Amino acid sequence: MTQPLSSSRSTTPTLSVMIVDDESPARARLRDLLSDVAAEVPNAVVAEAANGLLAIEAIALNPVDVVLADIRMPRMDGVELARHVSRMERPPAVIFVTAYDTYAVQAFELNAIDYLVKPVRANRLAAALQKVRHSRPPPPQVLAELQQGARTHLSCHERGRLLLIPISDILYLKADLKYVTARTASREYLLDESLTHLEEEFSERFIRLHRSALVAKDAIAGFEKGAPEDGEHQWQALLRGIPEKLPVSRRQWPLVKNYARQLSS
Amino acid sequence: MASIKQNPARPPLPDFRNFGVMLRILLGVNSLALLAALLLAGGISDWVRRFVDLAAWVQPLLLFNLALLAGVSPLLRRLPVVGGRVCVFALAALSAALFVDFWQFMGMDEGGWQRTLRAALLAAFAAATLLYYFHLRAKAFSPAVTEARLQALTARIRPHFLFNSLNAVLSLIRSEPRRAETALEELAELFRALMRDHRDLMPLADEIALCRQYLDLEKLRLGDRLAVEWEIVDVPDDIKVPPLMLQPLLENAVYHGIEPSGEGGTVRIRFARSGDELQIDLANPCHGQASTHSGNQMALANIRERLALFYDLEARLETRSVELPGGACEYRVHILLPCRSRKP
């Protein structure tokens, strides 16, 4: 490779890039283009992934500087990928790549988020890579608005690592003083989220039992009457797979009962 | 909607063999009979009795005329429009006169030339009213045909597909130039088909070829994730279908059924003929929102509308989600078309 030796360039370290797209021709195209612009913006493709989930696993093992992420992907889309990686200790910059998505493109323009449209052009790619070092990640609020539909995973930090919790594994979500706890069949996770937002986002999957608990609808095994309290019995939800019982508040009981009836009918 | 290609020709006579037209004639004439009964009746209670009396006269004549018109429909459509109309009036009036004669012969009507003439005039009036209704209806629908054609141009192929395909072709140019050439040719042909005039039926074989090209292009970018199974049972070569009826459905199948799944899946397409009907079945794995997705609904509404324009009530399009034994879910589209080449 013939690289002109100029003082500014010799000091520019090589960007490590990850390509995330579910279509292999699209990844091949980006790889070609990245090597085309390598003279201008030194870069190296260190990893490729077919969806957001695989990408996060790969980044956890090998941190990268830049992620080129397609938006529409199976299992985990590009926007959700960006939301999770933005919480890493050393978050990579995410450049979105999209074929055609008027909604997302409008939002990118509005929030000055860098994006590329397919077919990607070499000079646009080079410009985006050059800006990457100075760009700040988009605020979580903006990414949350970009998300179409609910996330497939929640993420949390543990000992410096980012853990992903599949939504389908979560049995219930419970708000304690400061944190929200997500309970799966095997263990609990501490989340940095608000229960109200979670309830809004996952209203199809979870139902509220009382002020500080949401339970996955398909985790409910049944209901039973608990010990009397002030002369009244309080209902409790039994859960599949774990022995814990969750109390149902008097206020929520009619709603929950209604839902249980729908199930049994 | 104004268009250069707007059809200047007068709307032709209705197709009297079409089930929808027959139904409309039945309903129309009976509504006229109801109205006549109301005019003749002394009060509301009398109305029903009057109508029953009238119906005894009207129904046999009506059914006879429906059969007669269905029989001579091809001949009528060959005449100039005005001639055809005059023929319909004449047939209605003559048959009414004959019926009055027949009832007289059977001793159930007093007869007389005045009654015969009245019957003939009433029948011709009913025929004229209905023909005028069909004329208005055809006029109301012809801009819709143009609009449907325009919609066909704009809403058919998702821009998503175009840009992703172009991107896939670009990726091939360096490594597999020949394959890139083929892909571009296919893309060109697909777009030529998309930009054609969409007002005439086209041979099923052409539509199938178009779908294969489309699926080839999708395979280019989706690779092994997209599997396609074709099954074509006893389908005559000369069947004609509305243009671009299947391609958008396949596009939906790929967009909602294959792309959201990491492992991919199979799209199944089946053509079969049963009697006078062509059955088309499409099936793809579904992922939650496929059936309620607005893009999908729009494409379905578009195709339903075009089916109604081409076949009136004789074509059907049904969709449903089916739970498979393994817990998976399948989205199915079922189309029924009358199996004959219809000349407008």
Q: For residues B120 and B97, is the Cβ–Cβ distance under 8 A?
A: yes
B174 CA: distance to closest CA in chain A (Å): 9
| % of residues, chain A, pLDDT over 70 | 94
- CB atoms < 10 A from the CB of A32, how many? 15
**What is the pLDDT confidence band of residue A11, given thresholds at 50, 70 and 90?**
low
Contact A29 B164 (CB under 8 A): no
The pair of structure tokens assigned to A45 is 């493709």
Does A28 contact chain B (CB < 8 Å)?
yes
Q: Report chain A's mean pLDDT, rounded to a whole number.
A: 86
Q: Is A50's pLDDT higher than 60?
A: yes
Contact B159 A100 (CB under 8 A): yes
pLDDT higher for A113 or B166?
A: B166
For residue A148, list chain B residues with Cβ-Cβ distance below 8 A: none
The ipTM estimated for the assembled molecules is 0.77
For residue A78, list chain B residues with Cβ-Cβ distance below 8 A: none
Alpha-carbon torsion, ordered A93, A98, A102, A105, to 10 deg: 20
Q: For residues A211 and A196, is the Cβ–Cβ distance under 8 A?
A: no
Does B170 contact chain A (CB < 8 Å)?
yes
| DSSP bridge partners of B268 | B229, B283
Contact B171 A32 (CB under 8 A): yes
Q: Is B5's pLDDT higher than 50?
A: no
Q: Please give the CATH architecture assigned to the domain spanning A15-146.
A: 3-Layer(aba) Sandwich (3.40)
Q: Do the domains A153-264 and A15-146 match in fold?
A: no
pLDDT higher for B274 or A230?
A: B274
pLDDT higher for A22 or A140?
A: A22
pLDDT single digits (tens) A145-154: 888 888 999 9
What per-residue confidence (pLDDT) applies to B261? 84
| DSSP bridge partners of A207 | A215
Q: Which amino acid is at B20?
A: G
Q: For residues B143 and B1, is the Cβ–Cβ distance under 8 A?
A: yes
| % of residues, chain B, pLDDT over 90 | 18
Contact A100 B221 (CB under 8 A): no
What per-residue confidence (pLDDT) applies to A5? 44
pLDDT single digits (tens) A99-132: 887 778 888 888 878 899 999 999 999 999 998 8
- Domain ranges for chain A: 15-146, 153-264
In the stretch 283-342 of chain B, residues with CB closer than 8 A to chain A read 289
Q: Is B289's pLDDT higher than 50?
A: no
Among B19-28, B111-120, B141-150, top mean pLDDT goes to B19-28
Contact B262 A28 (CB under 8 A): no
| % of residues, chain A, pLDDT over 90 | 40
Does A204 contact chain B (CB < 8 Å)?
no
A-B contacts (CB, under 8 Å): 58
DSSP state, residue A139: P
Among A31, A51, A53, A118, the strongest candidate for a mutation testing the B interface, having the largest count of B CBs within 10 A, is A118
Among A19, A20, A21, A22, the strongest candidate for a mutation testing the B interface, having the largest count of B CBs within 10 A, is A22
For residue B289, list chain A residues with Cβ-Cβ distance below 8 A: 149
For A100, the closest of B160, B221, B222 (CB atoms) is B160
What per-residue confidence (pLDDT) applies to B333? 93
DSSP state, residue A230: T
Q: Is A92's pLDDT higher than 80?
A: yes
Full-model pTM = 0.72
For residue A50, list chain B residues with Cβ-Cβ distance below 8 A: 262
pLDDT single digits (tens) B52-93: 888 888 888 889 888 988 888 888 878 888 888 888 888 888
Does A105 contact chain B (CB < 8 Å)?
no
Among A43-52, A158-167, A185-194, B116-125, top mean pLDDT goes to A43-52
pLDDT single digits (tens) B232-255: 988 887 888 888 888 888 988 998
Q: Is B19's pLDDT higher than 50?
A: yes
Contact A24 B223 (CB under 8 A): yes
For residue B295, list chain A residues with Cβ-Cβ distance below 8 A: none
The predicted model gives B267-275 an average pLDDT of 90
Q: A158: alpha, beta or left, given left = phi > 0 and alpha = psi -120 to 50?
A: beta
Least CA distance to A77: which residue of chain B? B260
Q: For residues A19 and A25, is the Cβ–Cβ distance under 8 A?
A: no
pLDDT higher for B32 or B199?
A: B32
Q: For residues A67 and A93, is the Cβ–Cβ distance under 8 A?
A: yes
Whether a cis peptide bond, with omega within 30° of 0, leads into A119 is yes
Q: For residues B47 and B37, is the Cβ–Cβ distance under 8 A?
A: yes
The pair of structure tokens assigned to B231 is 């099954």
Contact A99 B223 (CB under 8 A): no
Q: Report chain B's mean pLDDT, rounded to a whole number.
A: 82
Q: For residues A88 and A81, is the Cβ–Cβ distance under 8 A?
A: no
| % of residues, chain B, pLDDT over 70 | 87
**What is the pLDDT confidence band of residue A256, given thresholds at 50, 70 and 90?**
confident
The predicted model gives B190-201 an average pLDDT of 77
For residue B293, list chain A residues with Cβ-Cβ distance below 8 A: none
In the stretch 112-171 of chain A, residues with CB closer than 8 A to chain B read 117-120, 149
Q: Residue B103: what are its φ and ψ, rounded to 5°?
A: -60, -35
Among A20, A24, A33, A204, the strongest candidate for a mutation testing the B interface, having the largest count of B CBs within 10 A, is A24
Q: For residues B325 and B339, is the Cβ–Cβ distance under 8 A?
A: no
CA A218 to each of CA A189, A238, B29, B163, B327: distance values in angstroms, whole numbers, following the listed order: 20, 11, 57, 40, 15
DSSP state, residue B8: -
What per-residue confidence (pLDDT) applies to B198? 67
Q: Residue B158: what are its φ and ψ, rounded to 5°?
A: -70, 135
Third-level CATH fold of A153-264: OB fold (Dihydrolipoamide Acetyltransferase, E2P) (2.40.50)
What per-residue confidence (pLDDT) applies to B344? 41
